[in-house]
Amino acid sequence: MKAKRLFGEIKSSKVFYSLVGLIVLIIISAVIAPNFRTVDNLITIFRQASILLVLSAGLTAVLLTGGMDLSVGATAGFVGCICARMMKEGVPILAAFAIGILIGMIVGIVNGFLAGILPSFIATYGTNWVLGGLAIIVMQGAVIYDLPKNFTQIGVGHTGPVSNLIIIAVIVVVVIYILLQRTTYGRQVYAYGSNPVAAKYSAVPMKRIMVSSFMMCSMCAGLAGMLITARLNAADAAMGDSYGLQTVAAVVIGGTSMLGGEGGVVGTVIGSLILTIIVNVMNLKGISSFAQGMVVGIVIIAMVLFDTYTKRKQERSAV
Amino acid sequence: MAETILKARHITKLFPGMKALDDVDFDLQEGEVHILVGENGAGKSTLAKVILGAYKAEEGEVTFDNEVVKFNGTKEALAKGIVAVYQEFTLVPHISVAQNIFLNREYRTKLGLIDHKRMEREAQRLMESLNCEYIDVKSHVKTLSVAEQQMVEIAKALSFKPRVMVFDEPTATLSEREVDSLFAQIHRLKKEGIGIVYVSHRMQEFPLIGDRITILRDGVKIKTVDIDACSNEELVNMMVGRDVSQVYVRTQNEHTGTALRTQNLCDYKGKVKNVSISVRRGEIVGIAGLVGAGRTETAELLYGIEPVKSGDVFINEKNVLPKCPQNAVKLGIGLVSEDRKLQGLALDESIALNTVAVSLKKVFPNFFISNKKINEIALDYKKRLRIATTSVNKACKYLSGGNQQKVVLAKWLSFNPDILIFDEPTRGIDVAAKMEIYGLMDRLASEGKAIIMISSELPEVIGMSDRIYIMHEGEIVDEIRRGSEEFNSESIGARMMLGTGGTEDAEK
């Protein structure tokens, strides 16, 4: 009985179709690529997904308010670079790490305030360029490598049998899940995204919600930037670029509506896994990396089309 | 005897959760103005939209020129010459009058380009036929006054060579002089043999333009009568359908201490001018006035949606300033806003989440929430307000208007503010739900809440209020107490329209 209700709940939620997509993808992958089924490969997938997870979990909050943050890639790159630079200049690892998070927070505050004035996707598209430019200035056109071992351990090391990256990703996802689903803040994020006007009339602190969701997003991006640096044992101004739109894709594939108010972190986890598995399987099958972008694009369009279609059908049957 | 152009028989139109029209008959003759009248939600606009092809009726048929028609959208109705002059203007502000009139069906030159000259010529001819040649057809619509825009709207309708025109509340936004010129146009159109359906609830207009009048109530046609054969009282009785005293319950209860008082309140837009009002605990104070009189704007000043330009607000005699809704809520002011779909509810979210939207921080001061508790609260209000739903986890968009309004009320009751402003609390909901809301307002007042009620429906304001302020063009022009001789629709209605107060009359 309880299982049936749970199933009903899952089925009616937006996560359902993403979940079905993930399962179908796993089955297909397992059939066409025998080496997909190994434990090693599964661990690889989770490790590969972890940075995307950190980024996209943060972005989920912004999308839920109906906003958009196109600057996560550049934020990650910028913070990673500045952090690497600081460590090279002799700043202690912990301090560099804290400053990195702080910079993320500041970027988020700026984005949040701008988003109160401009459409957020334009505002963050602008900050994306600004941060990208800043990263190049910080790096002075060069690449930094050979970072302190204690720092790179975060990216490549293990705690017990589990990769540090996975542990960090899980912690971030759980914290954001709790924030969004189990706190007054989270309910207000949903209320805001679902109908901003009604939220205003319901005395929801609009600015605070918006700024804090952008802040959360950019802090995650900052953290992700440092994780990328730690994993690469190097920093390069452009290292975050490829993550920017991938992050948006992961959240959207996970069923979070770009119009706000619908979706959540669980979907985002699924979306991140879907993206990572696609790339993983294509690598296993030796499909050129040139084709990967195209496939990801098709998947995004297919998922959103499917989502729109089922939603329309649902609404028709309900009326 | 004039020819009947349009006949509608046994029209039934269903909306989720309600029957908007139930077996309604209606007909229209050439050169006739046929008024559709009824309370909000009675189905008059719905019937108009069925005639226009915007809605498809579940049952019944429409005959046009003795021929059964089944319109698939307004375009097909347009092709037959059935056009609408809408209440909200459908003109595009940034293009010219001529371009608006021929929008989407522009004349073309031989090369396929838009023939501006011809369009302007035709538009000019139309404006001349309306005696509005002073409107420059090359000027942008946004530069025109509301009345001029309405004339363009009519010109646009005429460009379709109509046989039937539907006017939906055309005078809602017009000044008195503008109304006169509109009526002159309608008389002229009548003479040309055009049949006119006129949707309105302004009774004072009816004898000026109407020939026949059809009264609708709760989706049912009550009667069609000749305009001369029916007094205003009879009309109201047919519209409301029962003795007004039965619908409204107002228990006599004590009023203690002033809860809210304003002094010379002004806003930046000039919609609220020197408004001084007060409401005591246990009192229901009505604000009557026409649309655009500044009632909603006053409420939004008090609730912190719009900034106050000058003047003072006192709560419990303490000078305060609600800067934003959070501020207002902390001061104990709640606003049941005018537009429940836009301002009141997150329609895609559950009843439960909407119920706690305002009280969230109060119920869960420790940041963390419990969904179980939210559900308990929502279930409690579902029971208390008799919200008809199978589950409080259902999205609000699936509820009927009345039940949605109850969720808005639940949202405020769960927060429990001392001062509650109701802005059009019963708009577009059925009579049963209305009566429940009146009962609730009465109970709240008896519990000692201070209540301000804004409404365009006079019977409702008169039925529920202990005291009524009359607002006209941003100013409070009069204040009438229950029990006074002037506490009736005629006196209040006249003051709403004309903006003259009793005291000013005395001076004259």
- The DSSP string of B309-329 is EEEEEEETTEEE---SHHHHH
> Which residue in chain B has the smallest CA separation from A208?
B326
Average pLDDT value for chain A: 90
Look at residues B148, B157, B151 and name the one whose alpha carbon lies nearest to residue B130. Answer: B151
Q: What percent of chain B has pLDDT over 90?
A: 44
Nearest to A176 by CA among A298, A312, A303, A60: A60
Mean pLDDT, rounded, for B38-52 = 83
pLDDT tens digit sequence for B292-326: 789 999 999 999 999 999 999 999 999 998 999 99
What would the 3-class secondary structure string for A173-192 be? Answer: HHHHHHHHHCEHHHHHHHHH
pLDDT value at residue B423: 93
Enumerate the H helices of B465-501 as residue ranges.
489-498
The values of phi and psi at residue B12, to 5°, are: -125, 125
Nearest chain A CA: its distance from B375 CA (Å): 14
| pLDDT recorded at residue B438 | 93
Confidence of residue B133 (pLDDT cuts 50, 70, 90): confident
Minimal Cα–Cα distance from A196 to chain B, Å? Answer: 8
For residues B82 and B162, the answer to whether their CB atoms sit within 8 Å is yes
Mean pLDDT is lowest, of A12-16, A213-217, B224-228, for A12-16
Which of A215-229, B31-45, B113-127, B179-193 is most confident? A215-229
Number of neighbours of residue A194 by Cβ within 10 angstroms: 27
Distance from C-alpha of B375 to C-alpha of B352, rounded to nearest angstrom: 6
Please determine, for residue B506, whether its predicted confidence score (pLDDT) is greater than 50: no
Mean pLDDT of B125-139: 86
Tell if the CB–CB gap between A184 and B367 is shorter than 8 Å: yes
Give residues with Cβ within 8 angstroms of B457, minimum separation 6. Answer: B39, B40, B426
Region A4-26: mean pLDDT is: 75
**Do residues A97 and A218 make contact, with C-beta atoms less than 8 angstroms apart?**
no
Asked if B361's CB is within 8 angstroms of A204's CB, the reply is no
Cβ of A215: how many Cβ atoms within 10 Å?
A: 22
Residue A194 has pLDDT above 60, yes or no: yes
Mean pLDDT of the A197-218 span: 94
Which pLDDT band holds residue B173 (cuts at 50, 70, 90)? low
Contact status of A319 with chain B (Cβ, < 8 Å): yes
In this predicted model, what pLDDT tens digit does every residue of B241-259 receive, in sequence order? 665 556 788 888 889 899 9
User: Among partner residues A191, A262, A319, which is closest to B357 by beta-carbon distance?
Assistant: A191
User: CB B348 to CB A261 under 8 A?
Assistant: yes
Percentage of residues in chain A with pLDDT exceeding 70? 93
Assign residue B422 a region (left: φ > 0; alpha: ψ between -120 and 50; beta: otherwise): beta
In this prediction, the answer to ipTM > 0.90 reads no
Helix, strand, coil content of chain B in percent (nearest 5):
35, 25, 35
Chain A residues near residue B361 by CB distance under 8 angstroms: 184
| Helix/strand/coil for A292 | helix
CA-wise closest residue to B404 among B431, B433, B445, B438: B433
For CATH 3.40.50.300, the residue range(s) in chain B are 4-243, 250-332+417-431+441-503
Torsions phi, psi for B19 (to 5 deg): -100, 110
Average pLDDT of chain B is 87
B250-332+417-431+441-503 CATH fold: Rossmann fold (3.40.50)
**Which pLDDT does position B284 carry in this prediction?**
95
> What is the DSSP pairing of strand B467-472 with strand B333-336?
unpaired
DSSP B43: S
Of the candidates B348, B364, B411, the beta carbon closest to that of A202 is on B411
pLDDT band at B507 (very low <50, low <70, confident <90, very high): very low
Interface residue B342 vs chain A (CB under 8 A): yes
Instruction: State the nearest Cα–Cα gap between A236 and chain B, in angstroms.
Output: 40
CATH architecture assignment, domain B4-243 = 3-Layer(aba) Sandwich (3.40)
Averaged over A49-57, what is the pLDDT? 96
B118 three-class SS: helix
Q: Is the CB of A197 less than 8 angstroms away from the CB of B367?
A: no
User: Which parts of B322-430 fold into alpha helices (H)?
Assistant: 325-330, 351-355, 360-363, 371-384, 401-415
Q: What DSSP element (H or E) covers B256?
A: strand B256-267
Rounded Cα–Cα distance for residues A129 and A75 (Å): 10
Nearest to B258 by CA among B496, B452, B24, B398: B452
Give the CATH fold of the A15-310 domain.
ABC transporter involved in vitamin B12 uptake, BtuC (1.10.3470)
Residue A195 and residue B346: Cβ atoms within 8 Å?
A: yes
Residue B508 has pLDDT above 50, yes or no: no
Q: Is a pLDDT exceeding 70 seen at residue B503?
A: no
Q: Which of the residue ranges A34-48, A74-88, A151-165, B332-346 has the most confident prediction, judged by mean pLDDT? A: A74-88
Which pLDDT value is given to residue B169? 80
Mean pLDDT throughout A119-146?
Answer: 93
Residue contact B337–A187, C-beta within 8 A: no
Residue B220 pairs with which residues in a beta bridge? B217
Q: Which of residues 246-275 of A touch B (CB under 8 A)?
A: 261-262
- Listed in sequence order, the DSSP H helices in B68-115 are 74-80, 97-101
Q: Which residues of chain A lie closer than 8 angstroms to B360, CB-CB?
A: 184, 187-188
Contact B280, B259 (CB under 8 A): yes
**CB proximity A182 to B under 8 Å:** yes
A74-78, A200-204, A283-287: least confident range: A283-287
Question: In Å, how far is B51's CA from the nearest CA of chain A?
Answer: 23
Q: How confident is the model at residue A211 (pLDDT cuts 50, 70, 90)?
A: very high
Which residues on B lie below 8 Å from A203 (Cβ)?
A: 324-326, 328-329, 358
- A191 CB neighbours in chain B (<8 A) are 346, 349, 353, 357
- Is residue B48 helix, strand or coil? helix
Q: Which of the residue ranges A72-86, A191-205, B198-212, B370-384 would you say has the lowest mean pLDDT?
A: B198-212
CA B424 – CA B430 distance, rounded (Å): 14
- Taken as a whole, chain A contains a residue count of 319
Q: Which phi and psi angles does B412 have, rounded to 5°?
A: -80, -40
List of chain B residues whose C-beta atoms are within 8 Å of the C-beta of residue A204? 326, 357
Contacts of A195 in chain B (CB under 8 A): 342, 345-349
Taking a C-beta distance cutoff of 8 angstroms, is the pair B247, B50 a contact?
Answer: no
B316-321, long-range: CB within 8 Å, 24+ apart, which pairs? B316/B257, B316/B258, B316/B259, B317/B258, B317/B261
B contact residues 276-305, partner A, Cβ 8 Å cutoff: 303, 305
Q: Which pair of tokens denotes residue A210?
A: 């918006």
Q: pLDDT band at residue B43, thresholds of 50, 70 and 90?
A: confident
Label residue B505 by pLDDT band (50, 70, 90). very low
What backbone phi and psi angles, to 5 degrees, belong to B399? -90, 155
DSSP H helix total and E strand total for chain A: 14, 4
